[in-house]
Amino acid sequence: MNQQPSWWHIHRGLFKRMAWTLLLIIIYMFGQQIYLPNVDIFSASQSLQGVPFLQMLAFTTGGQLGMPTILSLGMQPYMTTLIIWQAVTSLDLDGVRHLSQKQVGYIQRGLAIVLGTIQAISFVYLMGNSFLPLYVGPANINVTPAITVVTLVTGSLFTMWLADQNGQRGIGGTVTMIIPGLLAGLPTTLQRGLGGTAFKMTHVHIAVTVVITLVFVAVAVYLNHAELRLPLQQPLIENRFTDSYMPVKLLASGGMPFMYSMSLFSFPTYFLNGRITLTASEQTLIRWFLFTHWEGIVTYSVIIVILAFAFGYISLQPATVARNLKESGDYFFSVAPGAATSHFLTRHFVLLTIWSSFFLVLIGAVPLIVGLSVRGAANFSQYLGGLLILVTILDNVLEQVRALWNKNRYELF
């Protein structure tokens, strides 16, 4: 009699990956609690938490930019590196295509070091006079800021290594590492939100928030799965049972626009508000970058739409897809291979992104409009944006879990 495999034997691959992810997340969260050496923790925290765009960026990328820790930069340098590299590969350049995986790895790590160094220097600058002096040499040079930059860059590289390990051994890929930070930041961003307007968590407000959250999650999951299926001709593959197609997602950019929209929007006002006197043109400019004015809401909506098109195009990469289809012999009916196919895909992407942009602007702008007359309602703009990021990440995690769960659950006879 053949012995049936045990339940653990069938699903051990899934549980091993889940254990790896849990371990790596614990290490990452522990590192975010270790403070930088020779830094006045209270003074540095006060300085960092007074920078709005820094807090918004930390929330959407799972960082700890409000506290001076060795892993404060979090996933931000690594994610920026991946975005830049995806943008480069979307150009479908011959020189990039012929790079080996090893060469690509070296380039990405070098770019991550450069970006991490720039962001570490900015982080040190924003901490102001929070460093405890450490003088060396006959010239008594204070090396604490330099040590802090090196420590932050090293922490950024360690975070990159943790993310890569999760991509190889864990669940959900590299972006899974930002899930704990997003979950922890959602209640805070709803209560504090934008412009310092508090959203009091009364029983009525909690009930309203629960209803809005459930409805939004259901709609976001549905739209995240929505796709246009373009009929694809595959002459080299014999398939008698179903038609082939290429899916183009409605939300091609996912939640990526909200990862950077808030910080980009708040960046100009941070520097202008630091000046004692402002000219009339500067005061007008500030109105276009404040959530409490109609001009600012329009600007923020435009930023969301631009980022939706940019991230969506990078994700789809029409030129690369068209080249791959041409090399494999596949094609769309009545569309010539090559440039015509690229234009065909781009046209459908633009049409879909126009429709999806309405949904993204609805998330970002409608709470701000309501917030002009209802106190605290504007906080839902950042809250729903973070929730969309979380939905898109968790959706990918669940798809991988389902695939691993059913991997060995079949019998031929």
SS3 of 102, please? helix
Determine the pLDDT at residue 240.
Answer: 57
373: how many CB neighbours lie within 10 A of its CB?
7
- By percentage, how much of the chain surpasses pLDDT 90? 22
Task: Please report which confidence band the pLDDT of residue 358 belongs to, taking 50, 70 and 90 as the band edges.
Answer: very high
Instruction: Give, in degrees to the nearest 5, the angle at Cα 266 between 263 and 270.
Output: 120
- For residues 316 and 254, the answer to whether their CB atoms sit within 8 Å is no
Residue type, position 152, single letter: L
Average pLDDT over residues 386-412: 81
- For residues 36 and 43, the answer to whether their CB atoms sit within 8 Å is no
- Of 108-112, 160-164, 195-199, the poorest mean pLDDT is in 195-199
Q: What integer best gives the mean pLDDT of the chain?
A: 83
pLDDT in tens, 60-85: 776 677 788 888 888 888 888 888 88
Determine the pLDDT at residue 1.
Answer: 46
Q: What's the first-to-final CA gap in the chain, in angstroms?
A: 15
Query: Where exactly are the structural domains of the chain?
Result: 1-170, 179-413
Task: Please report which confidence band the pLDDT of residue 273 belongs to, taking 50, 70 and 90 as the band edges.
Answer: low
Task: Please report which confidence band the pLDDT of residue 2 belongs to, taking 50, 70 and 90 as the band edges.
Answer: low
Task: Write down the CATH number for the domain with range 1-170.
Answer: 1.10.3370.10
Domains 1-170 and 179-413 share a fold: yes
Query: Which CATH architecture is the domain 179-413 placed in?
Result: Orthogonal Bundle (1.10)
CA 101/CA 93 separation, integer angstroms: 16
Determine the pLDDT at residue 103.
Answer: 86
78: how many CB neighbours lie within 10 A of its CB?
28
pLDDT in tens, 8-45: 666 788 888 899 999 999 999 888 888 888 888 888 88
- 382: nearest Cα among 258, 271, 276, 289: 258
